[in-house]
Chains A and B, each alone.
Chain A
Amino acid sequence: MSLNRRNFLKTGAAGAVAAPYGFMRTAQAASTIKVGVLFSLTGGLSIIEKSLHDATLMAISEINAKGGAKGMMIEAVVEDGASDPKTYNEKASKLVIQDRVPTVFGSYTSASRKAVLPVFEKRHNLYFYPTYYEGFECSKNVVYTGAVPNQQLSNFIPWIIKTLGKKKFFIVGSNYIYPREMAKVSKILIEKNGGEWIADEYLELGHSEWGSMVNKIKTSGCDVVLSNVVGDSVVAFYREFKNQGLTHDKLPICATVTSEIEIAAMGAEYAVGSFTSFPYFQAIDTDINKAFIERYRAFVKDPKAVTHHALESSYFQVFLWKQAVEKASAITPDAIRDAVKGQEFAAPNGHVKIEPENLHTYLTPRIAQWLPDGQGKIIDAYPQPIKPLPYVAYGETDSNPFCTAKGLDTAKLKI
């Protein structure tokens, strides 16, 4: 229980220490760098975005504790996206135009990223986006540090077909761009690996009545379910799945979104035996990850807090940015962007590197099976990070990139 006198006193003490420190920072305005931190602190998405916000602030405070970036303290200008793309756009404009920050860290959903993109492109500013997303974007003003489809699916689908021996896929997702693009990539990979997909079905985002869909899955004759379901629908889905008598050992759910957060929310017993593909799991057994989890829990004052992929990316991207600032000739968005190309960092998930051409991140694909304690057991991992390919659904390969430093090669893109 965190509601006790000791914690209360500790917090009070921390507040007392922090107050003069904040005053000092404004007094020494010449030696600070302001950055924007833009996540939803209110509204439906705050459930997840609050954790990304916390991870970003934790990275900033760790960097400041070690002397800052290029000897300058980083000052976070925090804004609230309020789970609303329009608010995101307004707050991004405010950060770029009024606060004149050279970089903003933010966004969880693709909708909010798309909403702020025009601001950063028009004003030649820089956005760091930490979430796994559907690809199909090649902006020179965004650094993408989450997974793209080839880092979640190009290992997952062949593994399902060859190792699990499952060939008939039922693809299910929430009805918006991310699950639909993921389904598109999945179908290409399923057909290439000799499997077949029986159905491709969607449910409204945030909808939790899964009775009919699970019944359809049951009668479809599929032997594996590929889930791109997002948000709290995930919880209702796994519960209904078990409650209709389906089991993961006969008909496993293989998911691209279900992370530690959703597992904790549904109750681990509903997910035991199912699979998820992500570059990061809380269960990664390295000292650097264990220390990261411990620091995060101390930072948010919740001894049971879970870490997940987008949270970890929110953390390490600040360090990549710091290295870029130190290398850059000036503290301008353009200089930082050029300097971040090829930056490498030892992140909790392993070695990460920004691909110089498309500004996405090299990540290591991993597959985990969920255990009764709500943690993943990593059962398959690539030996090293793989190159991010945001246009893999449209035929992009390692040797034939669509998105380069010059921009998107539209001649190659056939939709």
Chain B
Amino acid sequence: MLDVLFIGFSVGSILLLVALGLAITYGAMGVINMAHGEMVMVGAYTTVLSRIWLGGNIFVAIPLAFIVTALLGLLIERVVVRRLYGRLLDTLLATWGIAILIQQAVRLEFGLSFFGIHVEGLGPGLQNVAVPAFLQGAFQFAGQEINIYRTFIIVVTLLVTLVTWAILYRTSVGMQVRAIIRNRPMAAACGIDTERVNALTFAFGSGLAGIAGVMMSGFKTVFPDMGSSMVVDGFMVVVAGGVGSLLGSIYSAGMLGEINGVAAWATNDIVARAIVFGVVILIIVLKPQGLFSYKGR
């Protein structure tokens, strides 16, 4: 049974890793960022490219991917998203468009493929990220074989969550973000530069997606479409957990992961996925605000 729970825990940590950035952008800024999955993809491609062109491994890629995707996020916020605050559906459409643009940019190698130039590591094909040998295989724990790479993902997720928590609850910028989540006009009235905080928040959320991308690249294939399915899972976690609540996202990721793990063990993966979606629907119907939510004041 321990192995089943471990897999559920690991599924949950992957969900959380993808959802964390979304929880912040959606929660704090009220932007439905459909390009979040593509940020994950860009993070994964950063891993691929840093291996090919810089010779770095997955550990080098983590800070690199954070910086690349955070800058990309900052750019998107400055150019598009900042003009759309308060228009929820418009942000959805605009960021969806951005998602398609990013996907095609990678697939067409930023247009270079029209000129017959091939950049190794980009293009429509599947890319492969080598995982260092000490992260492959399994180790023995309490009579069970535990997957090393999944353990690594769990550790990274814990660290990233801890850092996010510390920033939100132990720094002055974090306090400003929380104030904006509660009540934006009042925060602005108190002298918080909401535009600046929004830009930083969006960049940070995108950077977290980049880290998720690095972790996913060692786990599955890297290709231009890889992000589109992940953004669905991410929103599922955020909506079920309660918009704007970090704790809610953590709980709901853990819960949905375990439900998935146990249901897949008891029946099969296809039924398990249906059960997870069923649970999410039930949560939204019974608690439209999600499991944990702040009352806006």
Contacts and interface: CB of A to CB of B under 8 A. Distances in A.
Interface of A: 1-3, 7-8, 11-12, 14-15, 42-44, 46-47, 50, 175, 201-204, 206-209, 211-213, 215-216, 232, 235-236, 239-240, 242-245, 261-262, 264-267, 269, 301-302
B127 A265 contact: yes
Given A50-B124, A211-B10, A212-B269, A301 B136 contact: no
A212 B7 contact: yes
Contact of B264 (A47, A175, A212, A239): A212
B220 A244 contact: no
B171 interface: no
Contacts of A236: 219-221
A239 B150 CA distance: 11
B183 to A, nearest CB: 38
Interface string B135-155: 011100000010111100000
18 contacts: A3-B117, A3-B120, A12-B116, A14-B116, A46-B107, A46-B124, A202-B268, A209-B269, A211-B264, A212-B7, A212-B260, A213-B269, A215-B3, A232-B126, A239-B218, A244-B138, A267-B129, A301-B118
B185 interface: no
A211 B11 contact: yes
B219 A208 contact: yes
Contact of B11 (A1, A209, A264): A209
B115 A243 contact: no
A266 B128 contact: yes
A239 B219 contact: yes
B270 A202 contact: yes
Given A3-B118, A207-B269, A265-B128, A235 B220 contact: yes
B142 to A, nearest CB: 15
Contact of A245 (B117, B145, B270): B145
Contact of B120 (A2, A216, A242): A2
B272 interface: yes
Given A50-B124, A243-B147, A244-B147, A208 B130 contact: no
A50 B107 CA distance: 12
B273 A204 contact: yes
Given A208-B219, A211-B11, A212-B269, A267 B130 contact: yes
B119 interface: yes
Given A215-B265, A261-B126, A266 B118 contact: no
Given A11-B115, A232-B221, A245-B137, A204 B270 contact: yes
A245 B138 CA distance: 5
Interface in B232-285: 260-261, 264-265, 268-270, 272-273
B45 interface: no
Contacts of B204: none
A8 B117 contact: yes
A264 B148 contact: no
The 7 closest A-B pairs by CB, nearest first: A11-B116, A212-B264, A265-B126, A245-B138, A211-B7, A208-B220, A245-B145
B4 interface: yes
Interface centre among B4, B220, B226, by most A CB within 10 Å? B220
Given A175-B270, A243-B147, A244-B145, A216 B265 contact: yes
Contacts of A7: 116-117
Contact of A212 (B145, B148, B219, B265): B265
A211 B150 contact: yes
Contacts of B90: none
B126 to A, nearest CB: 3
A2 B270 CA distance: 42
A46 B106 CA distance: 13
B7 A232 contact: no
B202 interface: no
B111 interface: no
Contact of A201 (B131, B150, B268): B268
Nearest to A4: B117
